[in-house]
Structures are given as structure tokens and as C-alpha cells.
A and B are shown apart, each in its own frame.
Chain A
Amino acid sequence: MRHSIDGHSIEAHPTDGCPIFAAPFAAKVGFHKIVPLFLVLTLSLTAAASLPDGSWLGKVPPDEHQKTNPYSGQPDAIAAGRRIYADHCRKCHGENAEGTKKRPPLRSDIVQQIATDGDLHWLLVNGYMKKGMPSWSKLPDPQLWQLITYIKSLR
């Protein structure tokens, strides 16, 4: 399902992590009950992605959105990610990722719940240069995933 946000197309991925939308269940309860759920989810996603720091979600290609984090949940990766965060991110996003005057928090629902690890990886690689977020492609991929593991651990 695609929506338009800020003139960009966004893949909503309504079934990600939501087994309620599995086909057999849908057939069982009927589509007349699922459609309103879809609408609610779509509107929530649209509203969240329209926030100042969420419009980038509309640019993430579907294959990037679905990328999985090879370090997800690993304590060593969280520790390594914390060091990377302190070196490269803390100054703009705050000591504890609470955000600063000009830069968004990384404890927000957009980062912690709506964006997948793949979305965050895409953002780090490409940046959002129009809004002041630089590309971090100079960091090797494993370090980007470690950083994402740390950020997600702040949930």
C-alpha cells in the first residue's frame, strides 16, 4: 500500500509485525472488519510520517525498509553502538538521544516504533541533507547496524 506524504510516496507495510493481517485470519473475520483497521493504521502512519522528523520515511524504498539488522538485540552491538553514538551523534541528538534545540530526539515513536531497522539504515547511508542530516556512508555497514541496535535499545 502506498501513500503520498510531502509529495513523496511511502510504503506503509501494514502487515509488518502484525500477524492479525495474515490471510487466513482475514478470511475468517471478513474484510469488512479489516478495512477500518487498515484505515486507522494508514492514518496513524501518515500522521506520524508527516511530523517534522518523519517525512524521510516516505523516501525509503521497500527493499531497504525490509532489511534486517544482523546485530539486533545483541549486547555487544549495543555497547559498540553506544560508543559510535557518542563519537558521531551525541552532539546533535543529545547525550541521551533526547534531541537538541535544532535536532530531533531519537527516542520518538517515529524512530522507536514506526521506522524499521532498515529504514534507519537507509537514513544513515543517505542522510536527509535538505533537513541537515548528513550521510554517514563513511561508516562501514556493520558500524551502522551497531549504531541502530543501540538506538533501538533506547526504547
Chain B
Amino acid sequence: MIRRLLFLILLSALPLHAQERPYFVTYSQEMEEPGNLEIESFNVVGNPPGGNLFLGSNLEFEYGVKTWWTSEFYLDGQSTQHESTIFSGFRWENRFRPLLSEHVINPVIYIEYEDISSDKALREIVGHDGLPDFAGRNNRGDVKREMELKLILGSNFKGWNLSENIIAEKNLGGDPWEFGYAWAASRPLALAAKAQDCTFCPEKFQAGLEMYGGLGDRSSFGLHNTSHYVGPTINWTAPNGTTLSFSPQFGLNDYSIPRLYRFGVSYEIEQFLGIFRREAK
């Protein structure tokens, strides 16, 4: 308990800032700055017809290894009303930016390994993911080990960011490749910064739109029996650097959960390893 308190006190004293896009599913081309550690918690609440109200959560640790390489480790959990609260697994992903300067469209290669069961964090929708997945009860024994590849394409233009993700996921147990997509666009509410310190300056808010869904699998590619979501999204960066994000998202067909509510908090610790070096002196 004392250690936890000390950790929280340390965390509150660290220089924190973030300039995050307000996306929950879509990745932009922007990498973590080298040496920075970002701690994020993303959550989703849904109430699927025929299922139980659930809260899915990710705790993410994103570290900038190089300017062109970001590594991220996720811990997933979920809680379902009238069922259980479980740790649903972990993911480890790496993103690589092959082109070392800015272009009109900037590609990033994303590779992820995941070991999860009864996942309800909905960090990506692929294949025929949809309502039937929420009908069964939580089962920690049904572990899926999957590799996921994404091609992330992102552009920045006049303050706007437009990002598209093309997703391919393979269950290492032998299921066919599954596919999905995500795209999002966002912009700060003001492009120039104010001269004075302020809590609710428009440049501290970013707003946009996000859409994502499944595209079937290798044997049945297409939109049949796939779920799709769209919704506005917004975030606000507080003066101490904490970023709060929120997005109501809406299912676009009968195979989707009608409404999802996503919210997130992120902290960025600049030059994370340097903190320990200074302390060692």
C-alpha cells in the first residue's frame, strides 16, 4: 500500500505532457518521442442486446525506443455485469516508421502479438467480430494467441490529421486471416497557441471523427456479418499534461452493439529512463 502511494506521489511530481490524437482504435503515424513513456488507460462501456453490460479496459505502456520505433505493452481486463471481472490477457506491439522524413502520406508498420481471452476492450474489430461474441459468458480458459499486422497511413495537413489503418489478424491456432479497417480525422480547436497560460484554451482540445469495422476473413471477405462503428471523439490536455479523451460511438448495423462509450486518460513521462539516472547520482 505504501509503495503504491509512493508511486502515485512520484507520478504526480513528474513532468507530464501529452499531445495525443483523440483516437481510441485508429493509430496515427505519430510515434512516441524517444525516451518518453506514456501510460494510458482506455476503457469502453457497452450494453449488447442479449448480453450483459460490460466495461473493457486497457492499461498501456508506450515507450519511444527510437524516433522510428515505438514499443507498447498492454494489460487487458474486463468486467461484465452478472458474470465476473477478469484479467483478459496481454498484448505487445511494435510500430516502425520506414520513411525517416515527413511525406504527404506517412506509412507505419505495426506488428502485435496478443494472448487474450474474453476480450471486451474492442481495440480493434476484425473478421466477423460482432454481437454474437457478447452472448457467451466470460471464459478465461479460451485463450487466443494471435498475430496482428497493420499498415498505418497518416497525413497532417493544415492542422488536420487523417489516419487510416488496414488490419490483418491471424489466430496462431489455425483460424484464417481476418481483416478490418479503421480511419479517423481530427484537428485542434485552435491552431495557434495562446500567449498566456490557460486551462481551457481551444488549442488544448482536439476533436474529430472515428470509424472502424470488420471486413470478414480469408474465406469470406466482405461486409456480410461484420460490425461497424462511427462516432465523434474529443480530448483535452490539462495544464499538468494529463489528457482526457471521450467518444460516444454508434453501431452502424444489427451486427454491432448499438452504442459504445469510450473514455481514456493518458500521462506522458518525458525521458523516463533519465529520471532513474538522475536519482542514481
Which residues on A are within 8 Å of B, measured CB to CB? Answer: 59, 75-77, 79-81, 83-84, 87-88, 91-92, 125-127, 129-130, 132-135, 137-143, 146
Contact = CB atoms under 8 A, between A and B. Distances in A.
A76 B193 CA distance: 9
13 contacts: A75-B195, A79-B196, A83-B195, A92-B35, A125-B102, A129-B101, A132-B34, A134-B34, A134-B67, A135-B67, A139-B19, A143-B203, A146-B193
B158 interface: yes
A138 B186 CA distance: 11
A92 B271 contact: yes
Contacts of A129: 66-68, 97, 100-101
A80 B194 contact: yes
Give the most central of B64, B158, B192: most A CB within 10 Å.
Answer: B192
Main secondary structure of the interface of B (DSSP, over half): loop
Interface residues of B, number: 35
Given A80-B193, A137-B30, A140-B203, 5 more contacts: A80-B192, A91-B270, A91-B274, A129-B66, A129-B100
Given A125-B102, A130-B100, A137-B102, A143 B34 contact: no
A137 B17 CA distance: 17
Nearest to B158: A141
Interface of B: 15, 17, 19, 21, 28, 30-31, 33-35, 64, 66-68, 97, 100-102, 156, 158-159, 161, 188, 191-197, 203, 241, 270-271, 274
B32 to A, nearest CB: 9
Contacts of B21: 138
B102 A146 contact: no
Contacts of B156: 137-138
A81 B193 CA distance: 8
B191 A140 contact: yes
Contact of B17 (A75, A87, A139): A87
Contact of B193 (A59, A83, A135): A83
Contacts of B196: 79
